[in-house]
């Protein structure tokens, strides 16, 4: 039930963000005096609508997006009433048209940034200094975070019925305790602690730790689990001891309302770089998507569709990983915002690129003493537009299929 609720909540969040995208176009167009005749959430048959002023607002049956109709987006639009010609979008100054077309992506960016700011205060943002390599992890202080259980077999999954409770928790250790010795073996960092525990047979052993500046010793009944060697994480598993703790270095850091501004800016900058890299890798990942569909292993670095993102959102809610849910929603919005600004039709970035091309071409012709060539004929661009729509549709179908038959999951089973 939690999983389904998470899927629905994430899908609803995406629908709201897309609706805000279209609302961005509409509000800026109205602000500049352009005429917006329709604003709808969804596609297909109309379920409900009402008219306010010159705009019809409503909801359609298929909740897979939305749209707004701005009069005269291109010179080739043939449904413009003669009385509305002065308000046609294509007749407006370049900066106004650019602002209107960019407003959709700006809505995604604003939604992502505002969500990040609140997350930084109430949930926390990823610790930029959190260790990522094995060597970095081993050099961290042996400060612990209690695990709810120990998983006996060598699989990455959450706790299940029958899994033994964490030995550290049973021995009344607490989050933040700093391990200084296991048995008679001193511990100076996380790597020392792992080595000491693995070198100790399962069963009772005294563990020395520091809490609030005071040293304590508690007898811990180490559990027996199956794990590979730290030097060969992909190698065969063997019986070893386990304390039932995780790295105590915080993976998430909360900030004050003022400090959240800087943290949000830093995280957004990193996200912009990672988004640009992800877009560049899309063509390289198509073969991996096909491999996933045809029975191969799914690469976690392959693109996902709205279906895949919603499934991950549901899984995050199911396992109580709300930070994953929020950051996934933020990343998806930022990605959509950037992707929509690519200078390709039919995306907004394509319309912006054409508008600026027209201005540059007119400026060059004026300097050469030649007549203004006028507006770009969108009809001549339709073959390219249709080709891009076909490619985009095929790619979307590919990602959806992969997300249905071989989805990326947070917890490997």
Tens digits of residue pLDDT in 336-367: 999 999 999 889 999 999 999 999 999 999 99
> pLDDT (tens digit, 9 = 90+) per residue, 286-308?
898 999 898 888 888 889 998 99
Q: pLDDT for 266-285, tens place per residue?
A: 999 999 999 999 898 988 88
Residue 136 bears catalytic tag: no
**349 located within any domain:** no
The total number of structural domains that make up the chain:
1
Question: pLDDT tens digit string along 227-238?
Answer: 887 777 777 888
For residues 15-23, give the mean pLDDT.
Answer: 94
Query: Can you give the pTM of this predicted structure?
Result: 0.85
Of the two residues 161 and 289, the one the predictor is more confident about is 289
Long-range contacts of 192-201 (CB under 8 A, 24+ apart): 192/142, 193/142, 193/243, 194/138, 194/230, 197/222, 197/240, 197/241, 197/242, 197/243, 198/227, 198/240, 198/241, 200/241, 201/241
Q: Indicate the angle between helix axes 94-122 and 348-367, nearest 10 degrees.
A: 140
Would you say residue 413 has pLDDT above 50?
no
Judge whether 215 lies within some domain: yes
**Domain contains 213:** yes
Range of the domain at 207: 134-249
Q: Is residue 276 part of a domain?
A: no
Q: Are 92 and 73 in contact (CB under 8 A)?
A: no
| Residue whose pair of structure tokens reads 């109709």 in the numeric block | 69
The two tokens of residue 200 are: 């100790």
Average pLDDT, integer, range 247-268: 94
The pLDDT-based confidence of 89 (bands split at 50, 70, 90) is very high
Query: 22, 85, 140, 153: which is the annotated catalytic residue?
Result: 22
Higher-confidence residue of 270 and 1: namely 270
On the question of pLDDT at 78 being above 90, the answer is no
User: Taking 70 as the threshold, does the pLDDT of residue 55 lie above it?
Assistant: yes
Residue 188 lies in a domain: yes
- Does pLDDT of 182 surpass 90? yes
Give the pLDDT confidence score for residue 412 in this predicted structure: 55
The whole-number average pLDDT for the span 88-92 is 92
Query: Is the pLDDT confidence value at 113 over 80?
Result: yes
The per-residue pLDDT for 119 is 96
Place of tokens 């899309």: 282
In a domain, 76, yes or no: no
Establish if 273 belongs to a structural domain: no
Task: Specify the pLDDT at position 2.
Answer: 85
pLDDT of residue 64: 81
Domain holding 182: CATH number? 2.30.42.10
Q: Is residue 166 part of a domain?
A: yes
């Amino acid at each position: 039930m939690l999983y389904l609720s998470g899927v629905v909540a994430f899908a609803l969040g995406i629908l709201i963000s897309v609706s805000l995208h279209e609302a961005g176009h509409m509000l800026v167009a109205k602000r500049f005096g352009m005429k917006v005749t329709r604003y709808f959430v969804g596609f297909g048959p109309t379920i409900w609508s009402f008219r306010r002023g010159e705009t019809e607002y409503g909801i359609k049956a298929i909740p897979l997006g939305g749209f707004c109709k701005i009069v005269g987006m291109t010179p080739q639009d043939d449904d413009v009433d003669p009385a509305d010609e002065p308000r046609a979008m294509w007749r407006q100054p370049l900066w106004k048209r650019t602002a209107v077309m960019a407003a959709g992506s700006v809505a995604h960016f604003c939604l992502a940034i505002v969500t990040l700011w609140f997350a930084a205060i109430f949930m926390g943002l990823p610790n930029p200094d959190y260790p990522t390599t094995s060597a970095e992890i081993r050099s961290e202080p042996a400060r612990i975070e209690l695990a709810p259980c120990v998983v006996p077999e060598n699989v990455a999954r959450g706790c299940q019925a029958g899994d033994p409770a964490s030995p550290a928790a049973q021995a009344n250790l607490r989050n933040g305790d700093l391990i200084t010795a296991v048995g008679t073996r001193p511990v100076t960092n996380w790597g020392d602690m792992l080595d000491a525990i693995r070198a100790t047979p399962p069963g009772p052993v005294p563990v020395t730790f520091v809490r609030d500046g005071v040293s304590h010793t508690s007898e811990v009944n180490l559990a027996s689990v199956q794990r590979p060697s730290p030097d060969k994480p992909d190698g065969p598993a063997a019986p070893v001891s386990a304390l039932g703790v995780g790295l105590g270095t915080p993976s998430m850091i909360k900030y004050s309302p003022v400090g959240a501004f800087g943290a949000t800016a830093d995280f957004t900058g990193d996200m912009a770089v990672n988004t640009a890299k992800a877009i560049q890798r899309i063509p390289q990942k198509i073969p991996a998507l096909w491999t996933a569909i045809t029975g191969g292993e799914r690469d976690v670095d392959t693109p996902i569709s709205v279906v895949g993102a919603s499934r991950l959102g549901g899984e995050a809610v199911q396992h109580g990983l709300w930070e994953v849910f929020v950051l996934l929603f933020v990343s998806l919005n930022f990605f959509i915002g950037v992707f929509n600004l690519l200078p390709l039709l039919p995306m907004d970035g394509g319309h912006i690129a054409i508008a600026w091309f027209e201005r540059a071409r007119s400026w060059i012709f004026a300097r050469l003493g030649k007549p203004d060539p006028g507006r770009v004929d969108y009809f001549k661009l339709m073959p390219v537009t249709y080709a891009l729509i076909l490619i985009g549709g095929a790619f979307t179908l590919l990602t959806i299929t992969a997300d249905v038959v071989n989805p990326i999951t947070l917890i490997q089973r």
